[in-house]
């Protein structure tokens, strides 16, 4: 559907002209491929040598990273720790999707290329045999994967104002942002791949009505944003898709619409917020979901993206729909959220000394993401925006009067993760402001344990706790309003 279909107000003719003339950015292929090839050349032989040592260290509780972990958990964590550190060292990223590309085909080739690319086949389709079954859909399209349009041009307001001059020139105004326009005209044309993970196998995902937008049933939906420091992983890979999103949908009984936003540096700040807003429009304007039906969910960096999208909806979005005001989600589901970007190698969290010895992530991993998005370094200085004290830099800087307006939150942390301290601090602050916040803590899990098969049972316990909290503490309260 063209961007102009949702236009409600006048758009600067200069913006319209620049966007029409621009070409949507094409994701790089060669550099990511070479980096991934280098990674495999180093990783495969070295992993073959190290695996016996990892096995030996996992045999006895005394020699494990955490004596409470099982043999399989310790072995898995040691491998994942090494992979994440090598990803950071080599700058390994999946080759990002291209609409109608080979990896988008519902064939054995598409599935194989997706797996080789570390981006996975996504959705409910995992094995080649299942991919061939999916090809039975009309024109070989898969019902669980959709490409959605960008937001309407007149929704690019405030923080998401489209640039008409050079970077750093001009001023954008909004309730939450005053600074140079940040969105390149080309990024206003980006289409976004998304995956449906239905609450039961065999259920067809919702599709737009050909007779016009119609309201969906009262069933809630989780609009989900995967983690990966904004530079790694994919909504459809075996970690974020098959392990996390599928089990989240099946355990909670709530459909999950997972957004495969572009990774940095293809998407510098605030590009991923543009794609998050596009997914909000798709659910509310295309499919007819009410804001009160939508749960915004995300893990790690995806949690930060959830908090940013929420701020935009409660603030700058009012410039788009001044009559109706802000659009407020039903609740936020934050799994190991990255909610305080002030943490760094120079500003280590208190839990660092203990948890860095066993967590799967390290602080340089997050720093890589910030640099890639243009939040640190020369690029940020040239653009002249977003100081570290700015609320858009991190939720921890958000003024109390804004934080008080946030919807109910379910926050989950593993006690062994580097983000433990910031999770606790966020919970305490939000509760002091009178917000409905539930904090679920797994006593020995690592960061983003929801993505690891070795912690799948612990993740399901978390999802069950969320379901109970949402149905009893949020839906029931809303029904009485």
pLDDT along the chain (481 residues), means of 10: 48 91 90 91 94 97 97 97 95 87 71 66 42 42 85 93 89 89 95 94 81 71 97 92 95 97 94 97 94 97 98 87 77 96 77 94 92 70 68 94 97 97 97 97 98 97 98 76 47
pLDDT score recorded for residue 27 = 86
pLDDT score recorded for residue 296 = 98
pLDDT score recorded for residue 236 = 87
Structural contact between residues 249 and 198, judged by C-beta atoms closer than 8 angstroms: yes
Domain residue spans of the chain: 28-94, 144-151+187-479
Tokens representing 172 are 């954008």
pLDDT score recorded for residue 385 = 64
Cα dihedral 67, 69, 74, 78 in deg (nearest 10): -80
pLDDT score recorded for residue 2 = 39
Q: Counting every residue, how long is the chain?
A: 481
Q: May I ask the CATH class of domain 144-151+187-479?
A: alpha beta
User: Which candidate, 245, 363, 370, places its Cα nearest to that of 299?
Assistant: 245
Tell me phi and psi for residue 40, to 5 degrees. -65, -40
Q: How far apart are CA 68 and CA 174, in angstroms?
A: 50
Structural contact between residues 330 and 220, judged by C-beta atoms closer than 8 angstroms: yes
- Terminal Cα-to-Cα distance of the chain (whole angstroms): 36
Instruction: Measure CA 44 to chain center.
Output: 29
């Amino acid at each position: 559907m063209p961007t102009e279909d949702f236009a409600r107000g006048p758009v600067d003719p200069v913006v319209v002209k620049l966007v029409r003339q621009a070409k949507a950015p094409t994701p790089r292929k060669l550099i990511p491929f070479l980096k991934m090839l280098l990674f495999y050349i180093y990783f495969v032989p070295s992993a073959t040598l190290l695996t016996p040592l990892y096995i030996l260290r996992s045999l006895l509780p005394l020699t494990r990273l955490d004596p409470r972990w099982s043999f399989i958990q310790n072995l898995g964590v040691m491998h994942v720790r090494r992979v994440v550190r090598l990803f950071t060292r080599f700058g390994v990223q999946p080759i990002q999707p291209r609409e109608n590309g080979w990896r988008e085909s519902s064939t054995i080739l598409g599935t194989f290329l997706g797996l080789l690319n570390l981006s996975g086949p996504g959705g409910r389709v995992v094995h080649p045999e299942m991919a061939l079954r999916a090809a039975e859909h009309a024109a070989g399209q898969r019902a669980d994967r959709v490409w959605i349009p960008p937001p309407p041009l007149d929704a690019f307001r405030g923080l998401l104002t489209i640039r008409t001059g050079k970077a750093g020139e001009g001023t954008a105004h909004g309730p939450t942002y005053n600074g140079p326009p940040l969105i390149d005209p080309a990024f206003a044309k980006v289409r976004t791949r998304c995956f449906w993970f239905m609450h039961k196998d065999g259920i067809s995902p919702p599709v737009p009505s050909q007779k016009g937008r119609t309201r969906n049933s009262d069933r809630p939906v989780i609009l989900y944003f995967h983690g990966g420091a904004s530079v790694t992983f994919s909504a459809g890979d075996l970690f974020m898709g098959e392990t996390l999103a599928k089990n989240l949908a099946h355990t909670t009984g709530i459909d999950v619409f997972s957004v495969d936003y572009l990774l940095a540096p293809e998407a510098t700040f605030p590009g991923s917020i543009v794609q998050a807003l596009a997914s909000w429009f798709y659910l509310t304007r295309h499919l007819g979901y009410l804001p009160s039906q939508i749960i915004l969910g995300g893990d790690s960096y995806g949690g930060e993206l959830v908090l940013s999208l929420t701020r935009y909806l409660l603030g700058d979005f009012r410039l788009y729909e001044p009559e109706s005001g802000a659009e407020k989600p039903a609740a936020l589901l934050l799994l190991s959220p990255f909610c305080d970007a002030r943490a760094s190698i120079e500003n280590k969290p208190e839990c660092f000394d203990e948890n860095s010895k066993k967590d799967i992530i390290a602080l340089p991993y997050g720093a890589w993401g910030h640099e890639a998005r243009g939040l640190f370094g020369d690029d940020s200085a040239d653009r002249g925006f977003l100081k570290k004290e700015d609320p858009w830099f991190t939720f921890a800087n958000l003024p109390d009067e804004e934080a008080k307006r946030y919807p109910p939150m379910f926050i989950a942390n593993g006690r062994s993760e580097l983000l433990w301290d910031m999770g606790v601090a966020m919970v305490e602050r939000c509760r002091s402001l009178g917000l409905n916040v539930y904090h679920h803590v797994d006593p020995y899990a690592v960061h983003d344990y929801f993505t690891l098969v070795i912690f799948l049972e612990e993740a399901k316990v978390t999802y069950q706790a969320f379901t109970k909290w949402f149905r009893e503490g949020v839906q029931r309260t809303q029904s009485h309003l």
